[in-house]
Amino acid sequence: MTTTASLPITISGLTKTYGGARALDHVDLEIRSGEFLTLLGPSGSGKTTLLMTIAGFTRPDSGSLKFGGTEVICTPPHKREVGMVFQSYALFPHMDVAANIAFPLTLRRLPKDEIARRVDQALETVQLGGYGQRGIAQLSGGQRQRVALARAIVFEPRILLMDEPLSALDKKLREHMQIELRHLHDKLGMTTVYVTHDQREALTMSDRIAVINQGRVMQLGDPEALYERPANKFVADFIGDSTFLPVEISGSQAVCHGRPLELPADTPLRADSFLMLRPEKLRLLTDGPAAGMNTFSGTIKRIVYQGDSVLTQITLSDEQVISMRSVGHPESATFRIGGPVTLGLRRDDTILVCDD
């Protein structure tokens, strides 16, 4: 399949209320032409509502939605030329694979030979060449999702929307399909908006991620920016594992566990701050404190061998429990349950977050 032209999507002030509840709350989002953007958020945060609004199946109360500069808020779904893949596949069980994929082209009244050619091409694209005459019931979950994908791209849409398309698949297949979907996006080049509640899936697949909570965009950024510099406690908590320790501001210092923290330059000091501790950023200090590091002392509560890494839980003096992830068992004479340890955190990894 050839590379399709893509379109940017400009969303401004989109609001949607159901009864008294806000599903979308003044959403502003600029989706770049040809990018793979993921809407990531917990269940009920408004991801599907936003996607359905882009597709045209949900009418917002107010706001603007533009495809490449053209307002489409009043354009019906079939005229928006948007490809869509749902979690439930939504295939027609009584039609064979080829007829399912041909459906959008049949609707558009394309000539028969053109339809056959495009269907074959779409089947090749999703690596199901030769499966045209199979019945839907004869396919595995992964194959069904590929048919749904072929149907979504067969009319060469400039925008592709996917709502949790892999959530019904088991872990191995899901991870395989993540790479495949991303590959396909890179080959076809259409602007893609992808919905998931799985933060690892979002980190793996996306150019950029919009973290959604309660109908609002909490942060928009590339995977590394979101993980390393979360805008608030919600984002820090939702992406990756973290423990949060309360911080007190005393004069020009942030104090945690009775000790002033070494912080990256230009860290704002706010009274409601928490220190974000990621398990893999903590390391065991065996030769005493090192310069430019913050230290935390406690005793080992649990050691969990997880194959590719070891997770150690440490109880601090005030009974707070923090976690450290390391590759293999750390080499230290006191590294056993109940043993005393001192952990170090680099200044650049000492990130403060607030509730908003």
Based on CB atoms, which residue is closest to ligand ADP, 23 or 27? 23
Neighbours of 66 (CB within 10 A): 16
Q: Which does 49 bind (CB under 5 to 8 A by kind): ligand ADP, Mg ion, none?
A: ligand ADP
Supply the minimum distance, in Å, between the C-beta of residue 21 and ligand ADP. Answer: 5
Do residues 311 and 354 make contact, with C-beta atoms less than 8 angstroms apart?
no
User: Among candidates 255, 260, 264, which has minimal Cα distance to 351?
Assistant: 264
Based on CB atoms, which residue is closest to ligand ADP, 45 or 342? 45
User: Among candidates 130, 132, 127, 121, which has minimal Cα distance to 98?
Assistant: 132
Binding to ligand ADP, residues 18-37 (CB under 6 A): 18, 21, 23
Supply the minimum distance, in Å, between the C-beta of residue 10 and ligand ADP. Answer: 20
**Contact footprint for Mg ion (CB under 5 A):** 48
Based on CB atoms, which residue is closest to ligand ADP, 209 or 276? 209
Position 43 contacts ligand ADP (CB under 6 A): yes
Based on CB atoms, which residue is closest to ligand ADP, 49 or 191? 49
Selected binder of ligand ADP within 41, 83, 240, 344 (CB under 6 A): 41
Quick one: tokens of 243? 């423990």
Q: What distance in Å separates the CA atoms of residue 297 and residue 314, rounded to the nearest whole number? A: 8
Supply the minimum distance, in Å, between the C-beta of residue 285 and ligand ADP. Answer: 42
Binding to ligand ADP, residues 47-106 (CB under 6 A): 47-49
User: Hey, CA dihedral for 239, 178, 174, 57, is it positive or negative?
Assistant: positive
Q: What distance in Å separates the CA atoms of residue 229 and residue 178, rounded to the nearest whole number? A: 25
Q: Give the list of residues 6+ apart from residue 80 with CB closer than 8 angstroms, or none.
A: 55, 56, 67, 72, 159
DSSP letter at 284? E
Selected binder of ligand ADP within 34, 46, 223, 298 (CB under 6 A): 46
Pick the stretch among 45-53, 154-162, 231-239, 263-271 that binds ligand ADP (CB under 6 A): 45-53
Residue 166, SS3? coil
Q: Which residues bind ligand ADP (CB under 6 A)?
A: 18, 21, 23, 41, 43-49
